[in-house]
Structure 1
């Protein structure tokens, strides 16, 4: 049912109606007065009449509307159902609107940047079934030539993320309109193995002894729990179990939005070692009145970019330590647990991994005695076995 409403924050009238099964809200510059309500109602009646007659032109009526993309994408979908193949611009917009409901805010933002900023401008009005493999590869070459703000080229993994979205769009279009996707046979760029750089015990103590006093517990807990940035920044006091010395990981915060953890395996309980337990007790004296364990001066959750740029990197620089991103604290926790001889299955659980595969693949080289290659571990095992046989 169409209606005339008023925004509480601005006091201005807006129109609320449905078009092509899409709910549309169009802001006006009219203040809420009887005369303006009458003007708005006349406009609404005109819109409704044109919709009923099939004569409504959204772009003409609301040329600056933010709803244009999704409305026109819907129109394109309707046209395609009658045998017309949509352009990449229209189908990509339709694909985006259909899928964004399942994405986090941060991921939606990154997809928007790629789809609206790169894919649509490049392919634009080319019908999706006429995009060739040569054009797909040319698009990848185009992305490879782009530069970051600092002048550096994009990494292979960054380029692969662009291509992954293009592949998804083309494959979906191919399924709907019964043509062969031009993306078939296009392989991702080879991504170099990530180089992790965990901190040594000496470096850890150097950092904790010289960091800002209000961040000591924050860094200590990161070093000794392996929590991801979004997990520790979004940690609430209700998830800190002092009685059982457990940290319940249930939420994460990214770009100010609280959401479900990275995946189901990330829902876990992390054991508090004694240093971590004492760090939480210290924090309890300072921030227990707030929802979040770690807060800024206004009592809001920490913003990771601000912490990284204003606290973390300046600290490393002052200590003349190699520049490493804060995520290396998570890697440090994993290598410390492995070096201590803890069960790999237990460590994988603490890290939020599905199994031990990533643990051994990424971290084992930092623990010389974990996977010995000189045969000594096997010699001891075989000797023990032979000793049992001889005494049988």
Structure 2
């Protein structure tokens, strides 16, 4: 992807972009500063736009560039390229820069890895309007054969993530340059339903009675509020409202970066039950002097990966409970609220769902496991109805 970087030896900014399938770096005289980065970005945006439109004059923009000789050597090969639509690497780079302002940093990094590491190398040099459906399907087959660091193949969800980005790029190109996208009619891979295994009431008590003392309130609050991992990681004391017994979910912490919640519906107030309220009172005695509610010994926010590996999984092993990731505590909260008879709309609001659809689709089937209700109550009622009918005869 095109970018602005700084040279360590001079402290000056340089542009890094691709032109005619060649990676180009152009030095500026701008020292690294927010204002100069903005100037450099404006220049880079103009360069990228002109490249896409086929009107970029490298010599006029960078008259003293050392890249000119290298570019002149390739000119005879691509003299007709200006009349063609841009190739994949050029347009993908433009599409990325136009859309990255909408994304979180973590998602931007993920998209960068997929486009630079997978999409561009596979379709390099091919004009966007000449990419065929066969090539797109070949790309999917290629992705399906890739392996992660642990040797496992990429999951269908991961493969679909690659294909979703490719689809977005091709559809946007088709819309801009008036051709029919080859991606039409290609369906995503089937993804198995999420493995949701909420904890039973007995398991919750077993965990809270045997966990490390300094993590009891952490686990209790997760079990009884349904907060997402990034939400509890990013919970600050200023968002804990003791007077009204509310937890204000306003920020999340993702890979050390404070950012907006997952979506607008996630901006919410979670009601504190009595156990949760008391747990926060105990936490207040321990961490009130820090910005975040849950911190390590240095006063920094907890690293959920470290908690999972060094505290959570060892605890489950010691208690001989089935291995489940900490996110199952959120699922447990939803099922407990359903069992207690709370309004589905209220539960959806507490969970940060936009509506009750996910609540019924995902969680309702687990309620019998907690209530031990398997239709016996209805069977008893039906039997009574039939008996009363026979008496009337």
Q: For the superposition of Structure 1 and Structure 2, which TM-score range results when normalised by the shorter chain?
A: 0.7 to 0.9
**8 Å Cα contact 1:156/1:191 also seen in 2:** yes
State the partner residue of 2:262. Answer: 262
The answer on 1:376 being equivalent to 2:378 is yes
Change over 3 Å in CA distance of 1:352–1:130 after alignment to 2: same
Report the more deviating stretch, 51-60 or 262-271.
51-60
State the partner residue of 2:12. Answer: 14
After TM superposition, the structure 1 = structure 2 runs for residues 292-371 of structure 1, keeping only pairs within 5 Å, are: 292-368=292-368
| SS, match of residue 248 in structure 2 | strand
Change over 3 Å in CA distance of 1:151–1:182 after alignment to 2: same
Instruction: For residue 249 of structure 1, report the CA deviation from its aligned partner.
Output: 0.6
| SS, match of residue 301 in structure 2 | coil
| SS, match of residue 129 in structure 1 | helix
Instruction: For residue 84 of structure 1, report the CA deviation from its aligned partner.
Output: 2.9
State the partner residue of 2:62. Answer: 56
| SS, match of residue 97 in structure 1 | helix
> Which runs of 5 or more structure 1 residues have no equivalent in the other structure?
1-5, 31-50, 63-78, 384-392
State the partner residue of 1:223. Answer: 223
Within 1, Cα distance between the matches of 2:242 and 2:322? 35
Within 2, Cα distance between the matches of 1:359 and 1:188? 24
Within 1, Cα distance between the matches of 2:146 and 2:205? 41
| SS, match of residue 258 in structure 1 | strand
Instruction: For residue 297 of structure 1, report the CA deviation from its aligned partner.
Output: 1.9
The answer on 1:91 being equivalent to 2:91 is yes
Change over 3 Å in CA distance of 1:54–1:157 after alignment to 2: same
Within 2, Cα distance between the matches of 1:220 and 1:301? 18
Within 2, Cα distance between the matches of 1:244 and 1:58? 66
Within 2, Cα distance between the matches of 1:103 and 1:268? 21
Within 1, Cα distance between the matches of 2:218 and 2:261? 20
Instruction: For residue 227 of structure 1, report the CA deviation from its aligned partner.
Output: 0.2
Within 1, Cα distance between the matches of 2:62 and 2:9? 28
TM-score normalised by structure 2 residue count: 0.77
State the partner residue of 2:128. Answer: 128
Report the more deviating stretch, 360-369 or 127-136.
360-369
Within 2, Cα distance between the matches of 1:233 and 1:131? 44
Give the aligned CA root-mean-square deviation in angstroms: 3.3
The answer on 1:201 being equivalent to 2:201 is yes
> Which runs of 5 or more structure 2 residues have no equivalent in the other structure?
1-5, 18-24, 32-56, 69-79, 386-393
State the partner residue of 2:240. Answer: 240
Within 2, Cα distance between the matches of 1:364 and 1:61? 63
TM-score normalised by structure 1 residue count: 0.77
State the partner residue of 1:38. Answer: none
Change over 3 Å in CA distance of 1:195–1:16 after alignment to 2: closer
**8 Å Cα contact 2:14/2:26 also seen in 1:** yes
State the partner residue of 1:176. Answer: 176
Instruction: For residue 60 of structure 1, report the CA deviation from its aligned partner.
Output: 3.2
Instruction: For residue 87 of structure 1, report the CA deviation from its aligned partner.
Output: 1.2
Within 2, Cα distance between the matches of 1:271 and 1:165? 38
Instruction: For residue 374 of structure 1, report the CA deviation from its aligned partner.
Output: 7.4
**8 Å Cα contact 2:226/2:332 also seen in 1:** yes
Instruction: For residue 318 of structure 1, report the CA deviation from its aligned partner.
Output: 2.0
Within 1, Cα distance between the matches of 2:67 and 2:211? 58
| SS, match of residue 54 in structure 1 | helix
State the partner residue of 2:153. Answer: 153
**8 Å Cα contact 1:364/1:371 also seen in 2:** no
Report the more deviating stretch, 255-264 or 312-321.
312-321
Instruction: For residue 370 of structure 1, report the CA deviation from its aligned partner.
Output: 11
Change over 3 Å in CA distance of 1:104–1:57 after alignment to 2: farther
1:269-295 deviations in whole A, cap 9, x for unaligned? 101111111110011011101111011
Change over 3 Å in CA distance of 1:27–1:210 after alignment to 2: farther
Within 1, Cα distance between the matches of 2:187 and 2:312? 38
Instruction: For residue 93 of structure 1, report the CA deviation from its aligned partner.
Output: 1.3
State the partner residue of 1:106. Answer: 106
Change over 3 Å in CA distance of 1:11–1:162 after alignment to 2: closer
Change over 3 Å in CA distance of 1:84–1:312 after alignment to 2: same
